[in-house]
Structure 1
Amino acid sequence: MQVLVTRPRGQQQALMDALRQAGYQSLHSPALHIEPLPLSDATRRVLMDLDLFHAVFFASSNAARLALAAMADLWPQWPVGVHWLAVGKATAAEITRWHLQPTVPDGGFNSEAVLSLSCLQQLAEKKVLLCRGESGRELLAQTLSQRGAEVETLSFYRRLPSTEFHCPESCDWVMVTSVESWQAISGKIPPGAGVVAAGERVASHIRAQHTGPMRVAASAHDEDMLAALPGA
């Protein structure tokens, strides 16, 4: 059974290896290209005040990698007392690479799960920094503001549809891990191919445009995407 992984280049290997070990033929064609954004003077000024933030949230492993690299250039030693928040395990692993202790939800691995973290409940007169891509859901920022936080949002990259994407006619299943990924490839999937969607939010967008089989994974994590395949 052929399974196409659509993660950005450089982020596909662990899932492809897991697929092969489970007996599937794994292919890779990126749906999105990650383009880092230049670091503006305004962004540098915010990062210089990193020690004033109660919590710093990273919306993806890309956000963590790029934001922490920029922070490390300005902070020879990390500020103390900051909660470093990850949306999921891959993001947490990137934070750990920088010798920081991440906080990650026990399950869900989305904005709703992050909002349930104990450190984000009482936020009056506290500052929270959101590090993310150029576009994304506004739920987190809006809810944190409603809880009394002063929220600062910084963008460190943009997602662009990949010009390299190709789904062979022989492909049985396509793994889609974000709404943006689906929007980039929705007209390029063979009608008979199945789609594994990373969560119900992604699945709702796919249902509107794809008539082939679909399975909904519990999250975008590799083990959940793999578990959603038939026969897994």
Structure 2
Amino acid sequence: MHHMDKPLKGRHVLVLRAAHQNAAQCERLAQLGAQAVALPALEIEPVTEINAEDYWSLKDSIQNIDTYQIVIFVSPNAAEFSYEWIDAYWPQLPVGVDWIGIGQQTCKRLQSLDIPAWSVANGYDSESLLSDARLQNVAGQRVLILRGQDGRRLIYDTLTQRGAKVDYRTVYYRRCPRYSEQVIYEAVVAHPPAAILATSGEVLTNLLSIVGQLSTEQRQSIFLSLLIVPSQRIAELARGLGFTRVRVASGPDDESMVQAIIPANELEQPA
């Protein structure tokens, strides 16, 4: 095949997305000739009766979801897991609820599940959602935010300041996976990655705790890799953590993240 068709030929790229979400990035990298190395830096565990002090409050809010004027899903995972709950209690969706996905991907996921959600046209974070005209006059409205545990508090705080009555409900837990030293060594040291795809600040901090058992010298390779992140906020976090080559992708979707690697002049040629 012509070299231009495989611009990432022979390069190892570390993919940190959760296991159930990393297929698209890995596939796309393979098409471009790269060796995708999946090291999920996040595990997603739904709230169930067994693991959860959060179970009963979530169940209560879902059963009474028709009492909320606004329901906000903060991620595709939140959409996915909340849908199973909503579907169980509401064979037909209640009317009069404004369904909101925090970004395009969350919104698409909801629409594919027949929840008529909207998102801000050109944003995918709390800031862009909060600046939307439709969320300015919320005084006296009840708002439900469905999310993973311990997310950012910005939406809650801002809508509360605007006079809304806001409930947070945890729908899933995010955990840092554990790996054997050999798996970590293979992924990071045996083939130092040319690039790393980090979709969130959390997977980055998790990566650092995952490689924590390596020696300082062995860990060094990840700080020298080209790091692709989806936003300026995460880029600043990354620099603070010691990453030296940070590039912000044009968006958080898989295609934008992978495309951001391709100006390959910044990648070292493979030996």
TM norm. shorter chain > 0.5: yes
Higher mean C-alpha deviation, range 87-96 or range 196-205: 87-96
Instruction: Give the counterpart of 1:20 among 7, 16, 30.
Output: 30
Instruction: Give the counterpart of 1:147 among 162, 177, 193.
Output: 162
**Deviation digits for residues 16-61 of structure 1, max 9, x if unmatched?**
2223334433221100111112252222222122112121111111
Equivalent residue number for residue 128 of structure 2: 113
Equivalent positions of 1:22-171 (< 5 A) are: 22-38=32-48, 40-164=55-179, 166=184, 167-169=187-189, 170=191, 171=193
**Deviation digits for residues 97-122 of structure 1, max 9, x if unmatched?**
32122201112200011113332121
Equivalent residue number for residue 223 of structure 1: 255
Q: Please, which runs of 5 or more residues in structure 1 have no aligned partner?
A: none
Question: Matched residue pairs, number?
Answer: 232
Q: Please, which runs of 5 or more residues in structure 2 have no aligned partner?
A: 1-10, 50-54, 212-218, 265-271
Equivalent residue number for residue 52 of structure 2: none
Aligned-partner SS, 1:208: helix
Whether the 8 Å contact between 1:57 and 1:129 is mirrored in structure 2 is yes
Pairwise CA distance, 1:211? 4.1
Equivalent residue number for residue 172 of structure 1: 194
Percent identical across equivalent pairs?
31
Equivalent residue number for residue 208 of structure 2: 186
Aligned-partner Cα distance in 2 for 1:75–1:163: 37
**Deviation digits for residues 109-143 of structure 1, max 9, x if unmatched?**
00011113332121121111100011111111111
Instruction: Mark the CA change 1:95 to 1:116 in structure 2 (over 3 Å): closer, same or farther.
Output: same
Higher CA-based Rg? 2
Higher mean C-alpha deviation, range 160-169 or range 113-122: 160-169
Aligned-partner SS, 2:92: coil
Higher mean C-alpha deviation, range 215-224 or range 48-57: 215-224
Higher mean C-alpha deviation, range 209-218 or range 2-11: 209-218
Instruction: Mark the CA change 1:181 to 1:100 in structure 2 (over 3 Å): closer, same or farther.
Output: same
RMSD across aligned C-alpha pairs, in angstroms?
A: 1.9
What TM-score do you get using the length of structure 1 for normalisation? Answer: 0.91
For residue 168 of structure 1, what is the amino acid of its counterpart? V
Aligned-partner SS, 1:142: helix
Hey, which of these two has a bigger chunk of helix by percent?
A: 2
What TM-score do you get using the length of structure 2 for normalisation? Answer: 0.79
Pairwise CA distance, 1:12? 1.0
Whether the 8 Å contact between 1:108 and 1:218 is mirrored in structure 2 is no
Name segments (4+ residues, structure 1) moved above 4 Å: none
For residue 194 of structure 2, what is the amino acid of its counterpart? D
Is 1:2 the counterpart of 2:7? The answer is no
